[in-house]
Amino acid sequence: METSSFQILASIGYILTGHSDMQDVLHTRVMPIADCYTDHRLVRSKVLLTFKPPPKRKGPQTKKLHVHRLSLPWMKADFQAKLEERLTDVSEECPDDQWNHMKSVLQEVTAETVGYSTRKHQDWFNESDTSCYL
């Protein structure tokens, strides 16, 4: 039986992967097939698949109110007075409109009375310290 060069096939199986993912390919084999006169072979591989969780989407930063200031008696009295003054004229009849009015009044009066907190980070270096600036 005479064999020609096209009948002797080298079975080289490739799996395309990135350089950083090469350690995830566990086992690779080239499977024989029934048709002996084809250039194609089935490449079987076991791959370790790990999925990253989707990134968390950060919403807009909400401003924080100094609610703890309402524990001061004079601040509490000022807040109550402003709230009573603005809530006396409720002309809306629809419950949705009443709720929206109440919500906006509460937000405005609280912001005026107690104010928003500002984040203050302590500096790593003291500007008046001359040893930091050589």
d(CA 9, CA 15): 19
CA distances from 76 to 12, 64, 134 (A): 81, 18, 51
Structure token pair of residue 58: 């950060």
Query: pTM, whole model, 2 decimals?
Result: 0.46
Closest listed residue to residue 101, CA positions, set 110, 114, 116, 91: 91
| pLDDT values of the chain reduced to their tens digit, one per residue, 134 residues | 444 444 444 555 567 777 887 888 888 887 777 666 666 777 888 888 888 898 888 888 788 888 888 899 999 999 999 999 888 877 778 888 888 988 999 999 999 998 888 777 766 666 666 665 55
Position 3, amino acid: T
